Amino acid sequence: MANNRFKGITGWLHLWLGLITGLILMVVAISGCLLSFEDELELVFFKERHFVRPTQQRLTADSLFNIANSIYPGKKVSKLILEAAPERSAEARVGKGPEMKVVYINPFNGTILYKGLFQQQFFRTVRNLHRYLLLDKTGKAITGISCLICLFLTISGIFIWWPANKNAVKQRFKIKWNAKSKRLNWDLHAVTGFYLSFFLILITLTGLVMSYDWAENLIYQLADGKSQNEPPTKNQAKIKTACPGILQKMEHIMNELYPHPGRLNFNFPPKGGQAIMGQKESEQLPPGCTNAAYFDSKTGHLIKPQPFAALSLGTKIKKYVLPLHAGSIYGLGTKIFTFVVTLFTASLPVTGFLIWLGKRKKKKKPRAVQRSLKILARV
């Protein structure tokens, strides 16, 4: 009896929380479908800014840095990205915050292929819709709460789906395609939801880590026994003016430290006394999990290497969060799988709404019959 009551309360919460957040979850899921193939679609839709024809010797990283710095006076380059493929353009991000600019440069002749606001790029807008509903901090709070609700809906959905007896087991694992529309809709919601639930739990948990500092700190506490609070690496040289050619020097050192092919990023500090961080991607690691090194921003001398293998367990887990969430962890196969999961997830609020609508109509029907009987009795 108590179990039935608890299941009833769980079902009631599942229903109303699903109805309240259904539209938000659909927006997040559909935008997530697009983001599953962000890297591939970006190159297809905007190839004119990403591809060049190699014609001569490539410009040095210092030259590309200086070109990007000259585009927006008063703003400084915060990140320079050098692709491994010779036919790819170089990307520079200038400034920081909402007003950060992006510049794509032909690395062979210095031609500007595209420039504009970083956040106004198409897939950045999709990402902002996915994470913030285009509402900045307010949207982040809404999607964060919705992520918590989605976790509850997933777990409570498993509890509601769980068969009451052995006779009901078979029908809970498969969709009865030849059933009437009401039963078919229930199967599409309950059975599909059950199979998706295991992956949705992973997606929502990783989403929580990206939404809340406490969730991120929990990873470090559980894995490392302490929070992540490392001070920025400082320069070693006591000079004010940077030496010429330091980026070329750093690029050479990075390629010696990590000889594998891969995209190279230089992250420039907001303060002059801090070190420059170089990152190199590897085909052996998921996206975002890079081998890194810190360099003196005035001399280009190596301060310390930081290979991915040497990172703490908590830091490694944190870096795996985004590729797990986006489905890029094992390349195209997991991207396709994530796309399918998020697409079916977008359908769950629709089928759930139809179940609620069907129950509502069922309740109204007996009342209508009772009214008709009363009218007939009076006649």
Cα dist from 258 to 250, 254, 307, 310, 337, whole Å? 12, 6, 9, 14, 31
Distance CA(64)–CA(67), nearest Å, equals: 5
- The amino acid at residue 236 is Q
In terms of residue numbers, what domain contains 170? Answer: 2-38+130-223+333-371
- Residues 59, 190: one domain? no
pLDDT recorded at residue 368: 52
- Residues 151, 214: one domain? yes
- Residues 233, 161: one domain? no
pLDDT digits (tens, 9 = 90+) for 328-357: 999 999 999 999 999 999 999 999 999 888
Which residue numbers in the chain have pLDDT < 70? 1-3, 167-168, 362-379
Chain length of the chain: 379
Distance CA(272)–CA(10), nearest Å, equals: 56
- Domain membership flag for residue 267: yes
pLDDT recorded at residue 53: 94
**Location of structure tokens 């948990």:** 205
- Residues 309, 161: one domain? no
Extended beta strands in 237-328, E state? 264-267, 276-280, 291-295, 302-306
- Residues 203, 286: one domain? no
- Domain membership flag for residue 103: yes
- Residues 99, 151: one domain? no
User: CATH number, domain at 71?
Assistant: 3.10.450
Of 124, 141, 170, the last residue of a domain is: 124
- Residues 65, 98: one domain? yes
Contacts of 38 (CB under 8 A, 6+ apart): 123, 126, 127, 326
- Domain membership flag for residue 155: yes
- Domain membership flag for residue 45: no
| β-strand partners of 361 | none
Is there a contact between 208 and 215 (Cβ–Cβ < 8 Å)? yes
- Residues 315, 187: one domain? no
pLDDT recorded at residue 69: 94
Instruction: Provide the 10 A C-beta neighbour count for residue 64.
Output: 25
- Residues 294, 193: one domain? no
- Domain membership flag for residue 376: no
Domain count of the fold of the chain: 3
- Residues 139, 212: one domain? yes
- Considering only CA atoms, which of 339, 319, 343, 344 is closest in space to residue 327? 339
- Domain membership flag for residue 246: yes
Distance CA(357)–CA(158), nearest Å, equals: 21
Of 124, 141, 160, the last residue of a domain is: 124
- Residues 216, 349: one domain? yes
- Domain membership flag for residue 46: no
pLDDT recorded at residue 2: 61
- Residues 198, 234: one domain? no
pLDDT digits (tens, 9 = 90+) for 143-162: 999 999 999 999 999 988 88
pTM of the model: 0.88
Of 124, 150, 181, the last residue of a domain is: 124
